Structure 1
Amino acid sequence: MADYSESSIYARIEVNRLIDFKNHIFTKYNESEMKSMMESIEDMGVTDPILVRPHNEYEGMFEIISGHNRVQACKRLGKRDIHAVIYEELKDDSAAELMLIETNIKKRNLNDFKISEKAKIVARRYKLMKNLNKRKDQLSDIERSKFNELEKDNPFNIGTRQIFYYVQIDDNLTTGLKDLCDSGKLGVKSAVELSYLSDAEQDVVRSFMLDGNKLSYHKANIIRKKAESVEISIEVLNDIFNDKALKKKPEKTFKISPEIIEKYFPDLEDEGDIQMTVELALDQYFSQSS
C-alpha cells in the first residue's frame, strides 16, 4: 500500500465527527461479524487506527477512508472516540478512493468477496487509475508521488485479461446474472460471454437457467455468437441446447494437479481466476511461437 505518512497526523477523534466515505463500495460486516469485532474491541480495544481525511464539505468533520466497521462497532459499544490517522493532504477524491480500496484489500483478501463484488472492486480501481493518469498534473506533489507507486502495484495478483473480464462483468452483466455468478451457477468466463447480450436477452438466459438448465462456457459462447444475427429467446435457447451436433461433440476438459496449483497459483483460490490465468499464458505462448 502507498505510504502517506509524511502528510499524516495521529490523533483521537470523536466518533460523532466521522462520516462514511461517499463512494464506499465494500460490503459492511454482517451482524455476526460485527458482534465478533465488538467483542474484540471490548477485550483489546481498537488495535489498528482508522484512516480519515478532513471532510471537504463539513468543517470539523472527517471522512472515513478505512475503518467503517470499527467506527460502527465503537458507536454500538458507546465509545466516545477512536484512534485515527488523519491524511490532511489527501484532497483528491479519486486518490482517496484508491487508498480505500488498497486498505480494504489488505485486510480482506479479494477472494473473500463474491464474484460481483470482486468485479466491482477490480473495475473501480482500474477506472480510478485510468482517470488519475489523465490528470496527473492536477494532483498535489504527494498524491502524484503515491499514484506513481500505485501504477507499479498489482494488489489483486491478477493479469490484464482477468482485469478486462471483471470490468466487462461489472459494466455490462445484469444484476440477475451477477446473482447467478455469486451463487456458483454461472462461471466467470460464461458470464463474460453473456455480458455482450442486451439486458432483455440476459434476462431470458437467466430465466432459462432458473428452470434448471446448466450453462457451460461452450454454450455461452454459442449464445453470444447467435445473438449477432438473431434476438435470443427461449425458443432460440431450446434450439441451442437440443442441437444434436452439440450433444455429439463433448466438451474438452482438463485438470490441473494440486502441485502445479501450489507452485504457480499460491495466491489464487478462485477457479475462474486460475482458468483465466492459464488462458492468458497460453495466448502469450502461442503468439510467441507463431
Structure 2
Amino acid sequence: MIDIKRSANRPRANFSNNFEELLMDKQKVVSLPMSKIEPFSFNGDPQPFAIDENEISALADSISKCGLITPIIVRSISSNSYQILSGHKRYAACKKLMHLDIDAVVIEVTDDNVAFDIVCQANIQRKEPRPSELSKMFNTYLSLRKNVSADLTVNEISNMFGISRKTIYRYANISNLDNGLAELIDSKSIQIRFIEPLAKLSPEQQKAIADYYNYDERLSSKELTLVIEQMTNSGSSDIYDIMKAIRNLSEKKKEPYKNSLYNEMYIKKPLCMQNMTESELDKIMYELLDKYLENNFKSTKKVTTNEK
C-alpha cells in the first residue's frame, strides 16, 4: 500500500485520463469481501456524485459478460474495513449482481481531505458531472477553506479545476435553489447563468417557475429574464399572470400601428422612421399619395391633349 499524505504542496486534481493507472502503479490487485467495503463519505456526507440506476444496470450487464475489467480503488479505514475512493458505480453493479468479492487496489490515505481530492478527480475524469454535483463538490471545498489550513484559497480551488472564482460561486449557489430548478439546470433546460438571479427569489417564486416548466412549457431566455425581473420587483409568485402580461405586451409590440394608414399600406417601416409617431407617419403617407395623384393626373392630361 502507498501512503498519500497532505504536504505543503497538497495533492491537486489534474483530471488526467490515466488517473487510475497512476494510482495503481506497482500496486497489487486483491480480492476483498464486498461486505467489508463502504461508499466514501466526508464529514458524514456522501460523496457528491450521483449514481444513475440506468448506468448501473448497463454496467452490470457488461460485468456479467466480460467480468470486472478495472478494479476499484479503496483506502483502509480500519484493520478490516475499506472505503471506496474510485469505483462507486462498479461496486454498485457488482452488488446488483450479488457478487461476494470484488477486485480492488488498496492505497493508504490517512487524510480525509486528500481522500476527497481523489474521489473528485476519479469522477470528473470519467464524464462531465452535473451542475448539482459540482455544487456539492465546490461547497465542500469552500467549507474546507474555512476549516482546514489557510493555504486552501479560492484561487487555489480555481486553479485546481481550471475555472474562474465566479464560476465556482455560481455552481455553489445551486444549493440555494429549489430542487426542481436544480434538476432543470442539470438537464440544461435552464442555463447556468440564471443560477444567481434565481437564487435571489423566494422559495415560493422558485417553485412556481419550476412547476411552470414541468407542467406547462419551457420559457425562452428572454421570457425567463422578464419573469425574474417581474418577480423581483413585485414580490409576486403568480407566474401565470406575469407570463400573460409579458405575452400581451409582446403582441402589442408586434403591431404598433395596427389602425394606422401606414400599416394598411403594408409597407415595412424604414429605420429612419423608427421614432416617428403614428400621426407623423400618416402625414407622410398622405403627402406621398398627394404627389402620386398629382403626377398621375398630369400624365393623363398630356395623353388626352395629344389625342385631340
Same fold (TM over 0.5): yes
Q: Which residue of 1 aligns with 2:261?
A: none
Residue in 2 aligned with 1:46? 68
- Mapped to 1, the partners of 2:156 and 2:32 lie a distance apart of 29
Give 1:272's aligned residue: none
**SS of residue in 1 equivalent to 2:110:** coil
Answer yes or no: is the 8 Å Cα contact 1:194–1:223 preserved in 2. no
Q: Match for residue 223 of structure 1?
A: 227
2:171 matches 1:166: yes
- TM-score, with normalisation over the residues of structure 2? 0.59
Residues 1:137 and 1:153: Cα distance change in structure 2 (over 3 Å): closer
- Pick the aligned partner of 1:95 from 114, 126, 130: 114
Q: 1:19: how far off? A: 1.1
The residue aligned with 2:249 is 243
Q: Of 190, 193, 196, which residue of structure 2 is paired with 1:189?
A: 193
- Matches of 1:217 and 1:173, distance apart in 2: 18
C-alpha contact 2:131 2:185 (8 A) present in aligned 1: no
Provide the TM-score with structure 1 as the length reference.
0.62
Residue aligning to 2:33: 14
**Structure 1 residue 171: Cα displacement:** 1.7
Distance 2:74 2:253 in 1: 58
User: Which of 68, 79, 86 does residue 88 from structure 2 map onto?
Assistant: 68
Say which of 37, 49, 57 aligns to 2:59.
37
1:278 is aligned to: none
Question: Deviation at 1:103?
Answer: 0.4
Q: 1:132 to 1:214 in 2, by over 3 A?
A: closer
Write out aligned runs for 1:112-127 (5 A): 118-127=130-139
Matching residue's letter, 1:34? I
In 1: Cα distance, 2:253 partner to 2:180 partner = 28
Q: Is the 8 A contact 1:190 1:217 kept in 2?
A: no
Bigger drift between 41-50 and 240-249 goes to 240-249
Aligned residue for 2:264? none
**Aligned residues of 2:177 and 2:198 also touching (Cα < 8 A):** yes
Give % identity: 23
Shift of 1:201: 1.1
Distance (whole Å) between structure 2 residues aligned to residue 79 and residue 70 of structure 1:
11
- 1:174-206 CA-to-partner distances (Å, cap 9, x unmatched) read 112233344554333345432321110122233
Q: Deviations over 1:30-86 (max 9, x none)?
A: 25x434423433444322221112236xx5211112212222333344543222222
Aligned partner letter, 2:172:
V
Secondary structure in structure 2 of the residue aligned to 1:229 = helix
Q: Secondary structure at the match of 1:88?
A: strand
Q: Is the 8 A contact 2:29 2:105 kept in 1?
A: yes
SS of the aligned residue for 1:85 comes to: strand
Aligned length: 228
Q: Which structure has the bigger radius of gyration?
A: 2
Contact 1:20 1:64 (C-alpha < 8 Å) held by counterparts: yes
Point out where structure 1 has 5 or more consecutive residues left out of the alignment. Answer: 111-117, 250-290
